[in-house]
Structure 1
Amino acid sequence: MKREQISVFDIFKIGIGPSSSHTLGPWRAAQQFVELLVEQDVLNLVTGIKILLYGSLAKTGKGHGTDIAILLGLSGDDPVTFDVNAIDGKIKDIETSNILMLGGRREIGFFVEDDLLFLYNESLPFHPNAVTFQAFLNNGKAVSATFYSIGGGFVVKEDQQAQSKNEVDLPFPIETAGDLLHWCIKTGLKISGVVMENELAWRSEADTRAGVLNIFRVMKECMYRGCHTSGHLPGGLNVARRAANLNRRLIGSRPYQNYDEWVKAIRETGNGFQNTLDWVSCFALAINEENASFGRVVTAPTNGAAGVVPAVLQYLIVFCDSFTEEKIIQFILTASEIGSIFKKGATLSAAMGGCQAEIGVSSAMAAAALTECLGGSQRQVLMAAEIAMEHHLGMTCDPIGGLVQVPCIERNTMGAIKAITASQLALQTNPDNAKVSLDAVVKTMWQTALDMNSKYKETSDGGLAINIPISLPEC
């Protein structure tokens, strides 16, 4: 595979749910297409646009909000800053007026049913998540471009090898877990230390720290919001939100007014096994219920698996008494490097590798990060990541109704608990006696992804998606 330079902010991206590959990626692709039109100085010549969705983007695009994301991206809106409460109104305006303000500047006629096409039976060879944009100009010419959403919000244009990003001289280039361990041994740095040194090639330490803490801010706000929002999830499955009721039951009558007071109140509920288990599940449910509701989340490394890393980080904060900026930064930096290794050696895309590529990777990231923050050695950190992924190998992606709800939301609770278990096992084990390396697991995951039947790769053509009777409203 081509060498790729990946920053902590490539793995952890702020965006809008419910899917990094089907929502955030297509949104970014739409933005890039508008930028292409601007670069070619033809934006003001555009009279119409057609969008063609292929493969998994077509088959589960409606449930994942792909159409919504593309319309917002073409309109010049950004997923980091766009008001999530304005999504429905903006889309309704486009659909009823049949007008799209391309790039926020060029008004064109746009008929959703005719101009945004779901090609359910067509797929492009490079990746299952493909979208082609065609812009028709008033001089009789046209501009066309195809983009692939390859997982975790990463986007590749058809005629480019990788996502465009300034190449830098990294002091510690890393492709594999073996490379990472080599640099740790040579420098004596923890994994988070190696990551921070590499981040300095892009920006100052102060900027990296501020950016990481901003990632944490979005995570905790999402979790807090999810733990205090009741009702049912959108999409037609009529799935009830559970985190708020669970939070209410667990917290009892303890008063609090904000996140910090909430953490203190949770600690007062005790640290018994069952209580801790319930709280970790609550944290993960909250994040992914927000994700399923088009809320603002952080890819970790994807939206569908966005609850695992924050839930385990919250476990560290609440039950391991590690509510410090240093521990939070250490956790997120370590997790990002494990996600990066899986991105380089395998995939973060469920459409390419099944749910092992999402929940499995997120569990490995969280396990590694927790282990480092609890004092584990570099080898124990890598061992924790290996254990977590080893027991997610082969997990399929079979979302019912094409929605990121069942079984996706509960899988985040399972991934979080497995991460904590993997960390505990690694901390109690001499890694010199390990039989399986992280690199071996990454390789195995990729081989498994290649062998997996396509119906188990985020198409809703197999598994639970075809065995649970549902009746969704017409889209």
Structure 2
Amino acid sequence: MPDSTSAPTLDRAQTNIGIADLFTIGIGPSSSHTVGPMRAACAFAEAALDRGAPVSASCELFGSLALTGKGHATDIAVMLGLAGFQPESVDPDAVATIIATIRSEEQLKLGGQVPLPFVEGTHLVFRSDRFLPAHPNGMRFVAHYAEGEPYETFWYSIGGGAVVEGGCEPPQTNVKLPLPFSSGAELLSVAEAEGASIADIVRANEAAWRDDAETDAFIDSLRAAMSACIERGMRGEGELPGGLKVKRRARDLHARLMARGPRSDPSLVFDWVSLWALAVNEENAAGGRVVTAPTNGAAGVIPAVLRYYETFCASPTPAGARTFLLTAAAIGFLYKKRASISAAEMGCQGEVGVACSMAAAGLAAALGATNAQIENAAEIGMEHNLGLTCDPIGGLVQIPCIERNTMGAIKAINAAYLAMHGDGSHVVSLDAVIETMRQTGEDMRSKYKETAQGGLAVNVVAC
């Protein structure tokens, strides 16, 4: 086993990204610790099989993946990925049976094809005392063959379910966007020059990947998946897995709100928004199907604020929902390019904070705000989440993660309306707050960044 210095460094060259890179459909409980490792393991399995028929395959997890991997189902994700399953298509209800079979038989079919011995503790090792230099979420995969050299590769889960192979650039570097932007200031400048909205700019750039009809269909599928997750979450009951004995609350809260009468009562608005965020994140914690928005741990913020727009705002339309998600995506791109959406790098400011910023911008846009007001809304949404730590009790995406999404959704709505009461001018720019988030994340000690070694994770006993 090589030491951490032998791992290749991650190439952080910026690349063009689209809405399909930011919003993806997967399973809970974590985009960086579940969705990303599953994708990496599946890609490794395919590459290993391309080189022949291995006689063994193994994975080592480093840093944050090792420290909170058990609570985030990283072990399950790796086994599923090695067996050829992808987060977008695996049936969440079948996962327990698949994993139970692998464990009882001590065998899995690599890529769904070649049976290999697989014993946890031997073929899946948590290196909780070591971090790879490129990123806190590092993985090393090795395949051995009867003849020839072993195949070794490093992968990193960089946030939001995105993964990159060590020493390689992220994909799609050759895509040329008609209206590129890499900062908030540049986005506003491009929009002004084009006489276009922020959503229009993103839509024009999406044409580099697909036509408008396909983009609309993809956005509508995201909206439908978010809505379905809310509905499933409001039906779920019982305790969440993991041992904390956290009771699902969305079902009972939904029943109480329905009994209280019309949603037009202003006093109920925050209750409904909180319910919708709770529903999504309880579903995520249970390993259900969610949309990374931009991560699983923050998956409830944008769906809750979008449902607020569709339920409580005057004359909501499907076009308005698309504008919401396109605009939110533009803001998400900036955080991915200029900082990170990985809690292992930034703390929870990089997850719930970013989701709040994105949702604030999306809501403002759907309500007809100017580009300057939208940028202001995004800035406000992050400014009041700066320094937010990631300190999950028991390494589970439950406390404080689930309730934190309700706070993020409420803040996003507040930020949108605050911005729309102004003319768009403000002292702190979105670029300044993104840079501040990045610096804060770098200064934050690792125990507050998804390692469960500080904060609530050590001050509350996980029973």
Task: State how 1:169-184 maps to structure 2 within 5 Å.
Answer: 169-184=176-191
* Alpha-carbon contact 2:15-2:172 (below 8 Å) kept: no
1:57-456 to 2 correspondences below 5 Å = 57-161=65-169, 163-165=170-172, 167-252=174-259, 269-432=262-425, 434-456=426-448
Q: Secondary structure at the match of 1:113?
A: coil
Q: CA deviation at 1:321?
A: 3.9
Does structure 2 retain, via aligned residues, the 8 Å contact 1:22–1:57? yes
Aligned counterpart in structure 1 of residue 34 of structure 2, from 16, 20, 23: 23
Secondary structure of 1:2's counterpart equals coil
Q: Distance in 1 between matches of 2:435 and 2:65?
A: 26
Structure 1 partner of 2:9: none
SS in 1 for 2:70: helix
Q: Name the aligned partner's letter for residue 47 of structure 1.
A: V
- Distance in 1 separating the partners of 2:305 and 2:344: 25
Cα separation, 1, equivalents of 2:295 and 2:166: 22
> Does the CA-based 8 Å contact 1:353-1:450 persist in structure 2?
yes
Which amino acid is the alignment partner of residue 241 of structure 1? R
- The aligned counterpart of 2:8 is none
The list of structure 1 runs, each at least 4 consecutive aligned residues, that deviate by more than 3 angstroms after superposition, is none
Within the alignment, does 1:459 sit opposite 2:459 as a pair?
Answer: no
Per-residue CA deviations over 1:45-71 (Å, capped at 9, x if unaligned) read: x01111100000000000000010111
Equivalent residue for 1:6, pick from 11, 17, 22:
17
More displaced, 317-326 or 456-465?
317-326
Match of 2:7 in 1: none
Compared CA separation, residues 99 and 57, structure 1 to 2 (3 A)? same
Q: TM-score, normalised by structure 2?
A: 0.96
**One-letter code aligned to 1:130:** G
Matched position secondary structure for 1:134: strand
Amino acid at match of 1:219: M
Query: How far apart are residue 174 of structure 1 and its match?
Result: 1.1
CA offset digits 1:346-372 (Å, max 9, x no partner): 100000010000000000000000001
Structure 1, gaps ≥5 residues long: 254-267
Give the distance between the partners of 1:33 and 1:270, measured in 2 at CA.
49
Identity, in percent, stands at 49
Other structure's SS at 2:55 match: strand
Superposed displacement of residue 35, structure 1? 2.4
CA RMSD of aligned residues (A): 1.1
Distance (whole Å) between structure 2 residues aligned to residue 167 and residue 301 of structure 1: 23
Structure 2: unaligned runs, 5 residues or longer: 1-11
Name the CA distance, whole Å, in 2 between partners of 1:359 and 1:141.
44
**Partners of 2:181 and 2:38 in 1: CA distance:** 29
- Which amino acid is the alignment partner of residue 4 of structure 1? T
Q: 1:279 & 1:322 partners in 2: Cα distance?
A: 19
CA deviations 1:364-385 (Å, max 9, x no partner) are 0000000011111000000000
Summarize deviations over 1:101-148 as a string: whole Å, max 9, x none.
000111111111211000110111111000100111111521010101
Question: C-alpha distance in 2, partners of 1:249/1:58?
Answer: 40
Partners of 1:81 and 1:166 lie apart in 2 by 26
Question: How far off its partner does 1:167 sit?
Answer: 2.2
The structure-2 alpha-carbon separation of the partners of 1:461 and 1:322, relative to structure 1 and needing over 3 Å to count, comes to farther
Q: Which residue of 1 aligns with 2:5?
A: none
Give yes or no for contact 1:8–1:336 (8 Å, CA) kept in 2. Answer: yes
Q: 1:438 is matched by which residue type in structure 2?
A: L
Q: Number of residues paired by the alignment? A: 452
Q: Deviations over 1:253-302 (max 9, x none)?
A: 9xxxxxxxxxxxxxx62333320000000000000000000000000000
For 1:211 and 1:430, locate their aligned partners in 2 and report how far apart those are by CA, in whole Å. 33
Corresponding letter in the other structure for 2:229: C
Per-residue CA shift, 1:153-209, capped at 9, x if unaligned? 111111213x22262221111111111101110111111111000001110111111
AA matched with 2:441? A
| Deviations 1:237-258 (CA, angstroms, capped at 9, x unpaired) | 00000111000110129xxxxx
Per-residue deviation at 1:325? 1.7
Distance 2:255 2:93 in 1: 25
For residues 353 and 250 of structure 2, the distance between their equivalents in structure 1, rounded to whole angstroms, comes to 22
**CA–CA distance in 2 between the matches of 1:64 and 1:169?**
36
The separation in 2 between residues aligned to 1:117 and 1:59, in whole angstroms, is 11
| 1:323 Cα deviation after fit | 4.1
> Match for 1:464: what amino acid?
L
- Measure, in 2, the Cα distance between the counterparts of 1:389 and 1:428: 18
Aligned-partner SS, 2:237: coil
Q: Any conservation in 1 of the 2:376–2:424 contact (CA below 8 Å)?
A: yes
Contact 2:370–2:424 (Cα < 8 Å) also in 1: no
- Is the 8 Å Cα contact of residues 3 and 175 (structure 1) preserved in structure 2? no
SS in 1 for 2:122: helix
Alpha-carbon contact 1:316-1:322 (below 8 Å) kept: no
